Amino acid sequence: MVSLMPSLAQVAVGRTAAVVDVPGADPVSLRLLEMGLTPGVQVAVVAAAPLGDPLELEVRGYRLSIRRREAALVAVAT
């Protein structure tokens, strides 16, 4: 599926975005939904690891680390 919406991987460190959807049906997308990245939730990109990957997110009051490859599965509105 080609999405025109920006993904979480494109959100700069220090910025916050609202999750629009995690549209995939693959296990990773489902796991991200289960971890609370559901439509409407606010996600802050807190930091990136020294080599640029993975990312540190703040979502629903806790810190979550995912790689950019997984972040690309999350469609956001900035």
Partner 1 sequence: MTEPGGRERPLTVALVGNPNTGKSTLFTALAGIPTRIGNYPGVTVEEKVGRFTHRGRVVDLVDLPGTYSLRPQSPDERVVADVLAGRMPGVPPLDCIIIVVDATNLARNLFLASQALEIGLPTVVALTLGDVAADRGIAIDTAALAHRLDCPVIPVVAPRGTGIETLRDEALATSGRPRPRAPDFASHLAAVDTARPAPARDAIARYAWIDRIAADVVQRGAPPRQRIADTIDGILTHRLWGTLFFALVMLTLFTSIFRLATPAMDLISGGMDAVAAWVESLLPEGALRSLVVDGVLAGVGGVVVFLPQIALLFLFVALLEGCGYLSRAAFLMDRLLVGAGLSGKSFIPLLSSFACAIPGIMAARTIENRRDRLLTILVAPLMSCSARLPVYLLLCGAFVPDVAVGVSWLRLPAVVLAAMYALGVVVAALVAFVLSRTVFRGPPQPFVMELPGWRWPQPAVVLERVREAAWSFLKNAGTLILAMSVVIWALGNYPKPVQPDPSMTEAELQGEALRQSFLGRAGRVIEPVVAPLGWDWRLGCAAIASFPAREVVLGTLGVIYNLGDVDPGEEEGATMLVRRLKAATWDGTTRRVFTLPVALSLMVFFALCAQCASTLVVIGKETGSWVWPVVTFTYMTMLAWFAAFAIYQVGTALGW
Contact residues toward partner 1 (CB under 8 A) are 22, 25, 27-36, 38-39, 41, 46-47, 49-54, 56, 60-67, 69-70
> Which amino acid, one-letter code, is at 34?
E
Select 16 or 56, whichever has its Cβ closest to partner 1: 56
CA–CA separation, 55 and 3 (whole Å): 21
Residue 10 C-beta: closest distance to partner 1, Å: 18
CA–CA separation, 60 and 41 (whole Å): 7
Residue 37 C-beta: closest distance to partner 1, Å: 9
Residue 23 C-beta: closest distance to partner 1, Å: 8
DSSP strands (E only) in the chain: 16-21, 42-48, 55-59, 62-66, 75-77
Query: Per the structure block, which two tokens stand in for 48?
Result: 């990136």
Select 10 or 38, whichever has its Cβ closest to partner 1: 38
